[in-house]
Amino acid sequence: MGPRDGVSSSELRDGPSLGEEDTMRRLERTWGTPPGLWGWLTTVDHKRIGRRYIATGFVFFLVGGVLALLMRLQLAQPENTLVGPDRYNQLFSMHGTTMMFLFAVPIMEAMAVYLVPLMVGTRNIAFPRLNAFSYWVYLFGGVMIVVAFLMNTGPETGWFSYVPLAGPEYSPGKRTDFWAQMITFTEVAALAVAVEIIVTVFKMRAPGMGLNRVPLFVWSMLVTSFMVIFAMPAVMLASSFLIMDRLVSTQFFNPAEGGDPLLWQHLFWFFGHPEVYIIFLPALGMVSSIVAAMARRPVFGHVPMVLALVATAFLGFGLWVHHMFATGLPHLASGYFTAASMMIAIPSGIQIFCWIATLWDGRPQWTVPLLFVVGFVVIFVLGGLTGVMQASVPFDLQVHDSYFVVAHFHYVLIGGAVFPLFGAFYFWFPKITGRMLGERLGRWNFWLFFIGFNVAFFPMHLLGMMGMPRRVYTYPAELGWADLNLTATLGALLVAASVALFLVNVLVSLRAGRIAGPNPWNAGTLEWATASPPPSYNFAHIPVVEGLEPLWDKAGPLGMVHGLRVEEREVLLTTVLDAHPDLREPSPRSTIWPLLSALAVTVLFIGSIFTPWALVWGAVPLAVGLVGWFWPKRRHVPPEPVVES
Amino acid sequence: MSERHFVRDLSDLPTHGHGPSNLTWWGTMGFMLIEGFAFVLAGFTYLYIMMQFRHWPPGMPPPDLTWGTLMTAALLLSLVPNVWAKRVAEASDLRGTRRAVLVMLAVGLVTLGIRGFEFTVLNALWDSNAYGSILWTILGLHTVHLLTDVGDTAVLAVLMFTRHGKDPRRMGDVTDNALYWNFVVGAWVPIYALLYLVPRFA
Identify the CA nearest to A499 among candidates A421, A384, A408.
A421
Residues 6+ apart with CB under 8 A from A34: A42, A590
pLDDT tens track for A16-47? 999 999 999 999 999 999 999 999 999 999 99
The answer, yes or no, to whether residue A568 has pLDDT greater than 60, is yes
Do A612 and A55 form a contact (C-beta atoms < 8 A)? no
Q: Say yes or no for a CB contact (<8 Å) between B90 and A644.
A: yes
Question: By mean pLDDT, which of A117-131, B35-49, B82-96, B163-177 is the weakest?
Answer: B163-177
| pLDDT score recorded for residue A1 | 36
Mutate one of A257, A320, A551 to test the B interface: name it (highest B CB count within 10 A). Answer: A257
Residue A215 burial class via C-beta count within 10 angstroms: exposed 0-12, middle 13-18, buried 19 and up: buried
Residue of chain B minimizing CA distance to A529: B1
pLDDT tens track for A588-634? 999 999 999 999 999 999 999 999 999 999 999 999 999 999 998 76
| pLDDT score recorded for residue B180 | 95
The residue count for chain A = 645
Paired strand residues for A574:
A581
CA separation for the pair A447, A422 (Å, rounded)? 12
| pLDDT score recorded for residue A6 | 45
Between A and B, how many CB-CB pairs are < 8 A?
A: 217
| pLDDT score recorded for residue A174 | 96
Q: Say yes or no for a CB contact (<8 Å) between B16 and A248.
A: no
Paired strand residues for B17:
A643
Q: Say yes or no for a CB contact (<8 Å) between A126 and B26.
A: yes
The answer, yes or no, to whether residue B144 has pLDDT greater than 50, is yes
pTM over 0.90: yes
User: To the nearest whole percent, how much of chain B has pLDDT over 90?
Assistant: 86
Q: Say yes or no for a CB contact (<8 Å) between A585 and B23.
A: yes
Cα torsion through A82, A62, A470, A325, rounded to 10? 160
Q: Give CA A235 to chain center in angstroms.
A: 17
Cα Rg of chain B, angstroms: 21
pLDDT tens track for A490-521? 999 999 999 999 999 999 999 999 999 999 99
Paired strand residues for A435:
A515
| pLDDT score recorded for residue A331 | 82
Q: For A75-90, b where at least 16 C-beta lie within 10 A, e where not — what string?
A: bbebeeeebeeeebbb
Is the Cβ of A168 closer than 8 Å to some Cβ of chain B?
no
Mean pLDDT of chain A: 94
pLDDT tens track for A5-20? 445 666 789 999 999 9
What does the pLDDT average to over A447-465?
98
| pLDDT score recorded for residue A557 | 84
| pLDDT score recorded for residue A513 | 96
Mutate one of A263, A635, A642, A644 to test the B interface: name it (highest B CB count within 10 A). Answer: A642
> How many CB atoms neighbour CB A518 within 10 A?
16
* Residue among A199, A258, A582 whose CB faces B21 most closely: A582
CA separation for the pair B16, A281 (Å, rounded)? 34
The answer, yes or no, to whether residue A555 has pLDDT greater than 80, is no
Residue B1's pLDDT band (cuts 50, 70, 90)? very low
pLDDT tens track for A295-346? 999 999 999 999 999 999 999 898 888 888 888 888 888 888 888 888 888 9
| pLDDT score recorded for residue A641 | 43
Do B89 and B24 form a contact (C-beta atoms < 8 A)? no
| pLDDT score recorded for residue A320 | 86
Q: Say yes or no for a CB contact (<8 Å) between A198 and B30.
A: yes
Do A190 and A105 form a contact (C-beta atoms < 8 A)? yes
Query: In 3-state terms, what secondary structure has residue A469?
Result: strand
Residues 6+ apart with CB under 8 A from A224: A108, A112, A194, A277, A278, A281, A282, A313
pLDDT tens track for A56-109? 999 999 999 999 999 999 999 999 999 999 999 999 999 999 999 999 999 999
CA separation for the pair A54, A590 (Å, rounded)? 20
Q: How far is B100 from chain A (nearest CA, A)?
A: 20
Query: In 3-state terms, what secondary structure has residue A40?
Result: helix
Q: Say yes or no for a CB contact (<8 Å) between B16 and A257.
A: no
Would strands B6-9 and A560-562 be described as parallel, antiparallel, or unpaired? parallel
> How many CB atoms neighbour CB A556 within 10 A?
7
Which residues on chain A are in Cβ contact (under 8 Å) with B166? 637
The residue count for chain B = 202
ipTM over the 0.85 cut-off: yes
* Preceding peptide of A164 cis, ω within 30°: yes
pLDDT tens track for B36-66? 999 999 999 999 999 999 999 999 999 999 9
Q: Say yes or no for a CB contact (<8 Å) between A251 and B12.
A: no
> How many CB atoms neighbour CB A301 within 10 A?
17
* Residue among B15, B159, B167 whose CB faces A585 most closely: B15
Q: How far is A529 from chain B (nearest CA, A)?
A: 8
- Supply angle C-alpha A270, A275, A280, rounded to 5: 140
Residues 6+ apart with CB under 8 A from A578: A210, A211
The answer, yes or no, to whether residue A644 has pLDDT greater than 70, is no
Q: How far is A198 from chain B (nearest CA, A)?
A: 8
Which residues on chain A are in Cβ contact (under 8 Å) with B128? 251, 257
Q: Which amino acid is at A167?
A: G
Question: By mean pLDDT, which of A385-389, B76-80, B130-134 is the weakest?
Answer: A385-389
Q: Give CA A47 to chain center in angstroms.
A: 15
CA separation for the pair A518, A535 (Å, rounded)? 11
- Supply angle C-alpha A250, A254, A258, rounded to 5: 90
Q: For A422-438, b where at least 16 C-beta lie within 10 A, e where not — what string?
A: bbbbbbbbbbbbbbbbb
Q: Say yes or no for a CB contact (<8 Å) between B134 and A623.
A: no
pLDDT tens track for A338-383? 888 888 889 989 999 999 999 999 999 999 999 999 999 999 999 9
Is the Cβ of A621 closer than 8 Å to some Cβ of chain B?
no
Is the Cβ of A514 closer than 8 Å to some Cβ of chain B?
no
Do A251 and A244 form a contact (C-beta atoms < 8 A)? no
Q: Which amino acid is at A350?
A: I
Question: By mean pLDDT, which of A220-224, A243-247, B135-139, B167-171 is the weakest?
Answer: B167-171
CA separation for the pair A372, A375 (Å, rounded)? 5
| pLDDT score recorded for residue A556 | 77
Residue A642's pLDDT band (cuts 50, 70, 90)? very low
What does the pLDDT average to over A223-251?
96
Q: Say yes or no for a CB contact (<8 Å) between B23 and A126.
A: yes
Identify the CA nearest to A123 among candidates A31, A216, A29, A16.
A31
Mean pLDDT of chain B: 94
| pLDDT score recorded for residue A391 | 85
| pLDDT score recorded for residue A319 | 84
